[in-house]
Amino acid sequence: MADKKQKNYVRISDYGDLLVPIDMLDRLVTEGRIVRTTYNNDVDEISEITEISRVHLHTSADIEAAKVQIALQGKENEQTV
């Protein structure tokens, strides 16, 4: 099994960004969709469904550098990535 620090991740940009291990990418892009919702009558309704189209590669070094930068800014940092 690959060491967590050696994993590469992808960032899928649309409504928000999602960071996932690269080995999840094929299934996510093939089967997943980006949805937008509209708040209507006290319920979030799906108002748009699009295929995933923008994918960016991030190395484990990118993730570690981001964690350092976040810590230097005094923000909370998610440690499980």
- The percentage of residues in the chain with a pLDDT greater than 90, rounded to a whole number, is 25
Backbone angles phi, psi at 67, to 5 degrees: -60, -40
- Measured CA to CA, the distance from residue 50 to residue 14 in angstroms comes to 9
- The residue extents of the domains of the chain are 4-72
Q: Is the pLDDT of residue 32 over 90?
A: no
Q: How far is CA 52 from the centre of its chain?
A: 12
pLDDT at position 68 is: 92
User: What tens digit of pLDDT does each residue of 39-73 get?
Assistant: 999 988 989 989 988 889 999 999 999 999 999 99
Q: What is the pTM of this model?
A: 0.56
Evaluate whether 34 touches 46 at the Cβ level (below 8 Å). Answer: no
The CA distance from 57 to 7, in Å, is 11
**pLDDT (average), residues 4-12:** 70
In three-state secondary structure terms, 5 is helix
